[in-house]
Structure 1
Amino acid sequence: MIGRLTGQLIEKLPPQIVVDVGGIGYEVDVPMSTFYLLPALGEKTTLYTHLVVREDAHLLFGFASKGERETFRQLIKVGGIGAKIALAILSGLSADELALAVASEDLKRLSSVPGIGKKTAERLVLELRGKLATGGAVTTPGGLPFAATPDDKSDIVNALLALGYNDKEAAAATKGLPPEVTVSDGVRLALKSLMKG
Structure 2
Amino acid sequence: MRWAVTAAVVFLFCSCRSVPKPPIDVRGKRLLVLPFAYKGYHFGQHSLGAEMARLVCGVVSARAKGVVLCAAEPFAEMFVGKAPDSVDWRRLAFAANADYILAAKICDFRDRNPLDVNLYQGAMQVEAWVYDRQGRLRITRIVDARYPYRHPEVAPFGLSREEVVRKTKERTAVLIARLFYTPKKDEE
Q: Give the TM-score normalised by the residue count of structure 1.
A: 0.27
Structure with bigger helix share is: 1
Q: Give the TM-score normalised by the residue count of structure 2.
A: 0.28
